[in-house]
A and B are shown apart, each in its own frame.
Chain A
Amino acid sequence: MKRITLEERPDWRDKAAAVGFGFHEMYGEPYWLDDAAYLFTMAEIEEAIEDPSAELHRMCMDVAADVVRDPALMTKLAIPEAMQPLVVQSFERLDRHLYGRFDLAYDGTGPAKLLEYNADTPTSLFESAYFQYNWLTDNIERGALPEDSDQFNAIQETLVEAFRAFSNEPIFHFAAFTENDEDRGTAAYLMDCAVQAGHRTELLDIREIGVDAEERFTDLQDRTIELCFKLYPWEHMLLEPFAEHLMRSRTQFVEPPWKAILSNKGILPLLWERYPGHPNLLPAYFAEDPRADKLQNAVRKPLHSREGENVTVIEGGMETEASDGEYGESGFIVQELARLFEDNGNHAVLGTWIVGDTACGLGMREDRSRITRNLSRFVPHVIVG
């Protein structure tokens, strides 16, 4: 594994504009890097990244099966008591799920370590699945990368296949926070994949979802919503006014309610407890567990947090780095500090994509800070040799 630089494609901004990839700059900073790449060997990808990702997903599913049998654990994960039957039923019905992204620490030596599972509302999908693939083929074509260069990327193909498994009888509604370019772009990309799988799709803002007198969710045309992808976290939905209609609504949500278990940082101590010493796990405990204080070098994270908010780094027992944010009201976990790949002050985190139950691709993000935040940059990757 190493970080390389190469000349950017002269026309990549035009190509981004042509496909509607407007968020390659965010908050006035570049987000997509066209002139750098992470280089892996095939062995690193298959043995250190792909296989462990598939195994971690299976382990997470086993932990989820434990959690739905134990109301105390669900309470520990801050799943509201009234909503626990919804989560349990969706798991027991095997409500179909679509995708998730593991964040892994890996520096080319030793096993990759799980940082967290973005199992409910992961983004950086379009750049991983689509734009990164074209970056590779363009660079092979212009001779900037060897002819036999490869990439861990069957993401879109796997997504279209996964969409085929959903009934195409009802309209597939997509709900997102539409004012946000990245969220809207992610939803639109997934809608495109759904269309390729034969679905009729319709986008609406999460706030536009309505409810009728029979507690069925409705769209802006006053039609019932039967099947709905939502790019909005379950931990919020379960606390909002319409949560009371979720049990009776019969709307099939994607991701399903049981993903509230996997996307919760509380899955990390539960994994460590079930699989102590597993090579791809870091020691992790709930913050109130006395063992948490014994970790000298650790990261403290809220159960619910996105974009690296409210994360604290502890080294030698002292806080050395912290990020602010709006999360943390429902509890914290403490996880042993992992060594990230570092090059010239860039810290890299690997995002492996799980679609359905298949590990099918990789996207790299790097940040100046060890806490990967919303100013992180997406960097393509290439497999050589």
Chain B
Amino acid sequence: MNTTLSDKITYEGEFSEGTINDLLKKIDAWPSSLFKNKADVKYAVIELCSNIISHHSSTDFGSIIIDPQHSVCYLEVSSFASAKDYEIVASILNELKSVKDLKEHYFSKLERAGHAESVQLGMLKTYRCCNGNIELIGKTVASKILLTFKLKIDDCN
């Protein structure tokens, strides 16, 4: 099935929990014939947008594109961050590449409560939603980094 203009979701501006809620409602409204694996898209949206609001961003401004195609959903989330936060996120994603059992890793992180673990858990959940099909791009704009996550989420069979 081809994506129609109404299936593709885009947003640019201030992010809030209300923004996340609106995005989840729009994903829920997709016909299941278009993309069945809505859950992984929703979890990734929750984690990445929460990052914009709370974790790494220096402002709540950002953008998101959610583009469901046949058998894959492309997700692109951008926001501004400090160079240090970019390094932290890049380091977490790099470490995850060598983890053999991501589920076990998730529960071992859950055991330890703390802000650092919270950031790692969020990235880990995102990483698992797209089976590691995630690309992190950092582009210097003035004194900040424009951080972009590009994900490919497979549909379920």
Same assembly: no
Chain B residues engaging chain A, CB cutoff 8 angstroms? none
Chain A residues engaging chain B, CB cutoff 8 angstroms? none
